[in-house]
Structure formats: C-alpha cells, structure tokens
Chains A and B, each alone.
Chain A
Amino acid sequence: MWTEKRSLVLSKCCVVAFMIMLAVAAVLAPRAFRAWVVYMPEQRMVYFRATVYIGLVPAVSLLLLLYGLLHRIGVGEVFVSKNTDCLRYISWCCFAGAAVSMASAFYWFPWCAIGVAAAFMGLIVRVIKNVVAKAVSLQEEADYTI
C-alpha cells in the first residue's frame, strides 16, 4: 500500500539518483559533448564545458536543499520557517541556473529554452514559498493559542 512515508523515501531516492546523474555528467561531460556533436569547433566546446560546470553549482545546491527539505518533512517539521528559507534558496538556485543558461544562449540558442524552463520553475517554487510562509504564520498562531 502507498503511504506518505514511502512517497518521501521515493522522493529522496529520486534526489539521490539525480545527484549521481549530475556527478556522472560532470565527469563525462567533455567526452559526451565530443561524441554527441561531431562538427563542434573547439572554442564552442570550451563554452559548453563552462556552461555545464558553472551550472553544476546551482544544480548541486538545489539537490542538497531539496534533500534537506524532504528530511525535515520526514521528521514532521513541515510548516517551519527553515522550510520557507529552504524554498527561497531553491528558487534562487533555479534563477541562477536560468541565468547561466540564458548567458549560454549566445553560442547555442537551445540553451535559451532551458533557461526559460528553469526561470519558470523558480517562479513556481517562489509562489509555493509564499504559500508555505503563510502556512508557517498560521501554524505559529495555532501553536500559541492557549
């Protein structure tokens, strides 16, 4: 039977899987690009590597924050200000990823689509953060109603 706990475990597993994929991508990125795009000039290859390695910073931060958020939810700390901060940082990670992708569009236009998607995701997370912030204040009020 599907339970809330199993769902959390699955989410954590997915985050860990993404972390592993990211680590593999970081190691194999130069070789993968060479195999993927045959007629790529060396200069553009450097740009691709730069985009991937700079983009890794917000991606890794986001996954770590996501893991922390899931852990807190697992131990019953749902509507706490720590989670609001966490969601805020996650949204900034999305925006940072979007900025890196947008900046990379000058040498490969499809990066632009990834940038827009990341920015849109950041916006959604920001809205969720506002909802959680409101829930935190309601929870605090309920906790301090005697």
Chain B
Amino acid sequence: MPIVVNLDMMMLKRKMSSGELAEIIGLSQANLSILKTGKAKAIRFSTLEAICKALECQPGDILEYKE
C-alpha cells in the first residue's frame, strides 16, 4: 500500500512508548502494533484525532503517501 504510517518516528520525536500512547488514546497494544507495522487497512477519524492530540501533531505527520 502506498500509504505509509510514520507513527514510530513521531513517537520517537515525542519520546513516547507504545504502552503509554495506547493508554492515552484508549487503544489496545495489539491494535497499535497493527497500525505501526502498516498492517491496518483503515484508520478511523476518531483514532487519528486521538493520536494527533496525544502526539501534538498533524495527520500528515503520521500518514504519508509514497509511490
């Protein structure tokens, strides 16, 4: 899929662990891992909003289109 999830990079910038982020946004570690590894087929606006709020970033910082 040409959409790349740069969640790892953003978490590193904010110095936030997976467990911490999962707890803040109310997602299970397993689902967060699916998102991080690029296995996810879709992302809900509510999840994206929660991630952006927790990491203080824009959706474009997390999602990237690569050919």
Rounded to whole angstroms, the CA-CA distance of A50 and B9 in the bound complex is: 69
Return the CB mask of A127-146 against B: 1 if under 8 Å, else 0. Answer: 00000000000001100111
Asked whether any CB of chain A lies closer than 8 Å to the CB of B29, the reply is no
Please indicate the chain B residues that have their CB under 8 angstroms from the CB of A146 in the complex.
27, 31-32, 34-35, 40, 42-44, 47
Please indicate the chain A residues that have their CB under 8 angstroms from the CB of B39 in the complex.
144
- A interface, how many residues as a size bin? under 10
Rounded to whole angstroms, the CA-CA distance of A140 and B39 in the bound complex is: 11
Please indicate the chain B residues that have their CB under 8 angstroms from the CB of A141 in the complex.
41-42
Q: Main SS of chain A's interface residues?
A: mixed
* Chain A 97-146 residues near chain B, CB threshold 8 A: 140-141, 144-146
- B interface, how many residues as a size bin? 10 to 19
* Chain A 64-89 residues near chain B, CB threshold 8 A: none
Q: From A140, A141, A144, A146, name the one whose CB has the most chain B CB atoms within 10 angstroms.
A: A146
Rounded to whole angstroms, the CA-CA distance of A145 and B40 in the bound complex is: 6
User: Contact partner of A145 among B27, B32, B42, CB < 8 A?
Assistant: B42
Rounded to whole angstroms, the CA-CA distance of A144 and B35 in the bound complex is: 9
B33 nearest CB neighbor, chain A only: A146
| Smallest beta-carbon distance B11→chain A, Å | 15
Please indicate the chain B residues that have their CB under 8 angstroms from the CB of A144 in the complex.
34, 39-42
Please indicate the chain A residues that have their CB under 8 angstroms from the CB of B32 in the complex.
146
* Chain B 7-53 residues near chain A, CB threshold 8 A: 27, 31-32, 34-35, 39-44, 47
| Smallest beta-carbon distance B39→chain A, Å | 6
Chain A residues proximal to chain B, CB less than 8 Å: 140-141, 144-146
Question: Can you list 6 contacts pairing A with B, beta carbon distance less than 8 Å?
Answer: A145-B40, A145-B42, A145-B43, A145-B44, A146-B31, A146-B43
Chain B residues proximal to chain A, CB less than 8 Å: 27, 31-32, 34-35, 39-44, 47
Starting from the known contacts A144-B34, A146-B31, 6 additional A-B residue pairs (CB-CB under 8 Å) come to: A144-B41, A144-B42, A146-B27, A146-B32, A146-B34, A146-B43
